[in-house]
């Protein structure tokens, strides 16, 4: 008989963290004997509004909290929770609902930052982690933080479904470099405008931004750019037609340092060599000289692109990337994730 499992995500399927770290593992959870039921906090309508540049909706956020609060009065015995059950409410309130339940937490970002210096919220994540039956972490920074509070933790990177990425894809006629993300993280690209212009001077290329076409007016001057609307259905096909990928991150941003390098993992699956900032988990996922290059100063970004414009170099690194992709795949981590849940929640 299957064991009921309440899966309390932050987003519905439109949200990348929830889609990739929860919904994508439904089959693995079921194979381990669970009957997962998913309860997203924010609706797709909330994210659609946010990605359209209309800002955060307080009304939709309040409605989400009321809906989650009501759902928390009838929690199952076993829970998998993305970050927290009741966002913006202190630990004491959440603990009342969690009392007597066995729960596993899952973190893919350093969300501790958002509650720093905020009174009764400041220690919320520490206390939730300490009381959990297990904790899943997407990167080493998070794992190190969690292990100080709870020894029952495991690192499971945000993984890709390799079956979604074609082994052979017709490349775009023009040398094309991909950046995939959201309107929220597009600012990281804008902050590297000088690096992008240096790349444009080093080699002729087109930067394909897979996010929202509405970002077009924010194109970086001096850089040939094309914007495509992202969807779960087209991301693998678009990436596979590119020649390389980039993941710039600011070196002075604590939240960026806690990111889990998922863009780089997607590029691996698509067989794309990458250029990335040597920040956080990027330093562990990208293998310099094997699957891509690190770059900080604009000149380093330009030199890395010049190297990848060489067909022989790019083809060699592309083969390495696809070979490494299995180490970051659902095919590998599905059984590991499910077994960790089974042991933690029994």
DSSP, residue by residue, 22-72: TGGGHHHHHHTTEEEEE--SS-HHHHHHHHTT----HHHHHHHHHHHHHHG
Please state whether beta strands 225-229 and 206-211 pair in parallel, antiparallel, or not at all (unpaired). parallel
Q: Which CATH class, in words, describes the domain spanning 162-328?
A: alpha beta
- Whether 46 shows a pLDDT value over 90: the answer reads no
Measured in degrees and rounded to the nearest 5, phi and psi for residue 130 equal: -60, -30
Measured in degrees and rounded to the nearest 5, phi and psi for residue 104 equal: -115, 135
> Which of these ranges, 121-130, 251-260, 269-278, 318-327, has the smallest mean pLDDT?
251-260
**CATH superfamily name and code, 3-159+331-345:** Glycogen Phosphorylase B; (3.40.50.2000)
| Per-residue model confidence (pLDDT) at position 240 | 98
**Mean pLDDT in the chain?**
96
pLDDT digits 0-9 by tens, 97-145? 999 999 999 999 999 999 999 999 999 999 999 999 999 999 999 999 9
Residue that the structure tokens 């290059």 belong to = 293
Computed over its alpha carbons, how large is the radius of gyration of the chain? 21
For 144, other C-beta atoms within 10 Å of its C-beta total 12
- Whether 53 shows a pLDDT value over 80: the answer reads no
- Whether 241 shows a pLDDT value over 90: the answer reads yes
Contact 192, 266 (CB under 8 A): no
> Which of these ranges, 1-5, 24-28, 50-54, 97-101, has the smallest mean pLDDT?
50-54
As a whole number, mean pLDDT of residues 63-70 equals 92
The domain ranges of the chain are 3-159+331-345, 162-328
Residue that the structure tokens 């052979």 belong to = 168
pTM: 0.93
Look at residues 160, 176, 92, 168 and name the one whose alpha carbon lies nearest to residue 131: 92
For 52, other C-beta atoms within 10 Å of its C-beta total 11
Contact 226, 208 (CB under 8 A): yes
As a whole number, mean pLDDT of residues 266-282 equals 98
162-328 has the same fold as 3-159+331-345 = yes
- CB environment 259-287: b (16+ within 10 A), e (fewer): bbbbbbbbbbbbbbbbbbbebbbbeebbe
- Whether 260 shows a pLDDT value over 90: the answer reads yes
């Amino acid at each position: 008989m299957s064991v009921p499992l309440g899966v309390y995500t932050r987003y519905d399927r439109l949200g990348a963290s929830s889609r990739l770290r929860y919904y994508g593992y439904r089959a693995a959870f079921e194979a381990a004997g669970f009957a997962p039921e998913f309860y997203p906090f924010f609706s797709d309508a909330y994210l659609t509004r946010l990605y359209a540049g209309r800002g955060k909706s307080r009304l939709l956020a309040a409605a989400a909290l009321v809906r989650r609060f009501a759902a928390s009065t009838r929690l199952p015995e076993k829970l998998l929770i993305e970050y927290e059950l009741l966002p913006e409410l202190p630990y004491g309130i959440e603990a009342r609902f969690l009392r007597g339940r066995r729960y596993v937490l899952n973190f893919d970002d350093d969300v501790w930052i958002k509650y720093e210096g905020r009174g009764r919220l400041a220690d919320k994540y520490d206390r939730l982690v300490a009381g959990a039956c297990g904790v899943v972490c997407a990167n080493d920074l998070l794992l190190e933080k969690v292990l100080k509070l709870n020894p029952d933790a495991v690192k499971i990177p945000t993984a890709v479904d390799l079956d979604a990425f074609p082994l052979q894809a017709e490349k775009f006629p023009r040398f094309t470099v991909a950046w995939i993300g959201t309107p929220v993280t597009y600012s990281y690209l804008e902050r590297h405008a000088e690096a992008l212009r240096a790349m444009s001077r080093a080699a002729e290329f087109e930067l394909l931004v897979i996010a929202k076409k509405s970002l077009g007016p924010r194109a970086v001057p001096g850089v040939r750019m094309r914007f495509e609307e992202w969807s779960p259905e087209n991301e693998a096909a678009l990436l596979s037609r590119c020649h390389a990928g980039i993941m710039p991150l600011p070196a002075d941003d604590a939240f960026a340092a806690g990111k889990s390098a998922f863009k780089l993992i997607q590029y691996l699956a698509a067989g794309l060599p990458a250029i990335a900032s040597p920040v956080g988990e990027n330093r562990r996922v990208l293998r310099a000289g094997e699957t891509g290059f690190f770059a900080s100063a604009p000149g380093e970004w330009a030199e890395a692109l010049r190297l990848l414009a060489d067909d022989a170099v790019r083809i060699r690194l592309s083969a390495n990337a696809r070979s490494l992709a299995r180490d970051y795949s659902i095919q590998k981590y599905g059984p590991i994730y499910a077994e960790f849940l089974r042991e933690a929640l029994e």
